[in-house]
Amino acid sequence: MTGSLFGRICICLNAVVLLLVILPTASSAQNATGHFEVYCDGVGFFLAKVDGAPAPGKLFLFLYTGLPGTLYVPKETWQDVYVYRNGCIADGKCKVLAHGKVWLDDVPMPDARRVSGKYEIELNGQHFRGQFAAKRHDYKHPPRLCM
């Protein structure tokens, strides 16, 4: 009888562990999706499904890379980003909504078609974090011009 009781306890503990792994917690975020654009002075990430973002749940993250014409983004290190509302671009006309950081799994230069990584954002006193995957979007006429 002790063998079967021990077996039942093990099965119950395994089920509890499985539920803890499968069920999302309040601090976990869903994966954001979207696209990214490469500019002369940085990279813009247009993310949708950002948990905690103002309606409609989309944000624009701008990663300034420094020197115009030189695009280098180190992978697997946290990089500071400016966070803007949906529909804004980093052109000085939109107000920065928050600050955050991104961690890129891949370097999106010079010709990567997809990137993935994670983000952390401090917004309205709350800390949001999650993972994202984005496809590259190229314009015929880029919206950002650098001198």
pLDDT surpasses 70 at 10: no
Per-residue pLDDT, 146 = 65
Per-residue pLDDT, 13 = 35
Q: Determine the average pLDDT of the residues in 92-102.
A: 89
Per-residue pLDDT, 3 = 55
Of 66-75, 86-95, 123-132, which one has max mean pLDDT?
Answer: 123-132
67-105 burial string, b = 16+ CB within 10 Å, else e?
Answer: eeeebebeeeeebebbbbebebbbeeeeeebbebbbbbe
pLDDT surpasses 50 at 25: no
Per-residue pLDDT, 67 = 66
Residues in the chain, overall count: 147
Q: pLDDT tens across 112-135, in order?
A: 788 899 999 998 888 989 999 999
Per-residue pLDDT, 119 = 94
Per-residue pLDDT, 9 = 45
Given a contact cutoff of 8 angstroms between Cβ atoms, the answer to whether 136 and 108 are in contact is yes
- What are the residue ranges spanned by the domains of the chain? 32-136
